[in-house]
Structure 1
Amino acid sequence: MARMLNKVAVITGAASGIGLACVRRFAAEGAQVVGLDLGEPPAEALQGLDPAPLFLRLNVTDEAQTQAVMAEVIARFGRIDALVTAAGIASQGSVTQTDTANWQRMLDIHLNGCMFACKYALPQMVAQRSGSIITFGSIFGLQGCDGNVAYNVAKGGITQLTRSMAIDYGHANVRVNGLCPGLIDTPMTTMVKEHAEFHAYFASQHMLSRAGQPEEVANVALFLASDEASFVSGQMLAVDGGFSAGRRFAPPAL
């Protein structure tokens, strides 16, 4: 299939993890992908993709740079059909363990970075009367967890940002949805994998009893960006192997 044929998709956090998986998935479906990140992925990760993705350098916390990059994309391709805001970093700490600089960095990258990208893509989408924005929340933007306050709050903000934009721009046929991944094996979650016992426990709390893969999240992002999701907007969709369904109190029956 070529569900994104003749469409332009802009993806932040595109050099690794879920962002890179989205680059590969969208390009495989025919999209002209523009990847935005501080670096570029390994060349082998992009082999065989046609059209070849274009990578531009972007610090998502820099509003002026974000504005300029979006203007460059529009000047080159004339439109933006999909925006995926996958840039993010991990954090740890409770309120008393989180210094102000780390708190601000988490808000800047996750929440402000998402808002800036949307702010400068939306006018083009409104003008063309079409577009799909896919933000990245988290299961911990839907519910809390211990020792992760800055991340949780930033992701919770993305939940409300997503809903607000869906309300504000739906009249222009712009759809806005968010994905809320569970534990996904990416470079960002390396610190979890380094603690094998905790990783196994965390994975076991997903009803599928495993961590997810970046490609599994990218598949859902592709659906939301495609015309197949033409009546889906304002939703925060958990891609979490059943984590948010509830808790399991007994070992699964085999």
Structure 2
Amino acid sequence: MARLQNKVAVVTGGASGIGLACVRRFAAEGAQVVGLDIGSAPADFPGLFMTLDVRDEAQVQQVMQDVISRFGRIDILVNAAGVADQGSVTQTTTANWQRVMDINLTGSMLTSKYALASMVEQRGGSIINVGSIFGLQGCDGNVAYNVSKGGINQLTRSMAIDYGYANIRVNGLCPGLIETPMTSMVRDNDAFHAFFASQHMLSRSGQPEEVANVALFLASDEASFVSGQMIAVDGGFSAGRRFAPPAQ
């Protein structure tokens, strides 16, 4: 089944984690995929890879123009580029705060800005912003990341409102604990990893492919009447807390 046949999909953060999983899933569904990342792509990357620092507006504009020149259009944009940081307000340096905001939030705005020109002209498109459960609710010692992902939610809603007239759908994904390079620091602490995973009602962490499956739905015509939504892909983490051990 080729749910994205003849679609052109651009994925930031496409060299690893959720971004790479989206690249592979979209390519398997027939899309022509362009992966963008500041790092290098794996040898088996199934599409065109281009280096991009999403903080650099001139570079973002040029890369998007190059994609449009090569493929004629952009149908799907996944903003998966992101970084994490730890610390409360008093523990977070201004430089670290700015780096997280620039990559997670401003980077998503910039790539959307220069992909939207094609989408508006063709009167259609799907933008998928990768947020976090910690954009839906807070946690301790994570202020810059939490705020950047909360901003992703409002960016998503605002763009859905502003560009709905052109049949452009904008939605967000809010993953829970997903086994990616970004969460390696969680896996390095066995006790904390087990505790964090247990707070998901499915009593486990997730895989990047499980997020990519939901991204595929949002990118496809099957989600033709879905816009402005933040969809948690979190194994039930955001459903609430349980106070008794899970049933065996």
TM range (shorter): over 0.9
TM-score by length of 2: 0.99
The one-letter code sitting in structure 1 at the alignment partner of 2:34 is: V
1:218-237 to structure 2, matched below 5 A, reads: 218-237=212-231
CA shift for structure 1 position 40:
2.5
Give the one of 47, 55, 64 matched to 1:53. 47
> Which residue in 2 is equivalent to 1:77?
71
Runs of 4+ in 1 over 4 A off after TM superposition: none
Between the two proteins, the alignment pairs up a number of residues equal to 248
Aligned to 2:20: 20
1:31-46 residue pairs with structure 2 within 5 A?
Answer: 31-44=31-44, 46=45
1:194 aligns with 2:188: yes
CA separation in 2, counterparts of 1:129 and 1:91?
Answer: 38
Question: Aligned with 2:53: secondary structure?
Answer: coil
1:147-186: CA deviations, max 9, x gaps? 0000000000000000000000001000000000000000
- TM superposition shift of 1:123: 1.1
- The answer to whether the 8 Å contact 2:41/2:49 transfers is no
Is 1:137 paired with 2:131?
yes
Deviation at 1:39, TM superposition (A): 2.4
SS class of match (1:79): coil
**What residue is the counterpart of 1:4 in the other structure?**
4
What SS does the aligned partner of 1:232 have? coil
Aligned to 1:179, which of 173, 178, 193? 173
Quote the Cα distance in structure 2 between the aligned partners of 1:40 and 1:77.
22
The DSSP-based 3-state class of the residue aligned with 2:23 is helix
The equivalent of 2:239 in structure 1 is 245
For 1:213, the equivalent position in structure 2 comes to: 207
**1:90 positional shift:** 1.3
Distance 2:122 2:23 in 1: 23
Say which of 104, 110, 115 aligns to 2:104: 110
Aligned counterpart in structure 2 of residue 120 of structure 1, from 95, 114, 120? 114
Q: Structure 2 stretches of 5 or more lacking a match?
A: none
Deviations 1:110-141 (A, max 9, x none): 00000000000011101000000000110000
Match of 1:156?
150
Q: Which runs of 5+ in 1 are unaligned?
A: 47-51
Deviation (angstroms), 1:252: 1.0
Write the letter of the residue equivalent to 1:24.
R
Instruction: Tell me the equivalent position of 2:84.
Output: 90
Tell me the amino acid that sits aligned with residue 235 of structure 1: Q
| Alpha-carbon distance in 2 for matches of 1:135, 1:251 | 34
| Pairwise CA distance, 1:41 | 2.3
Q: What is the aligned counterpart of 2:160 among 155, 166, 174?
A: 166
Distance 1:93 1:226 in 2: 38
Deviation at 1:253, TM superposition (A): 1.3
TM-score (norm 1): 0.97
Which letter maps to 1:12? T
Identity of aligned residues (%): 78
Structure 2: which amino acid aligns with 1:90? A
Partners of 1:90 and 1:189 in 2: CA distance:
9
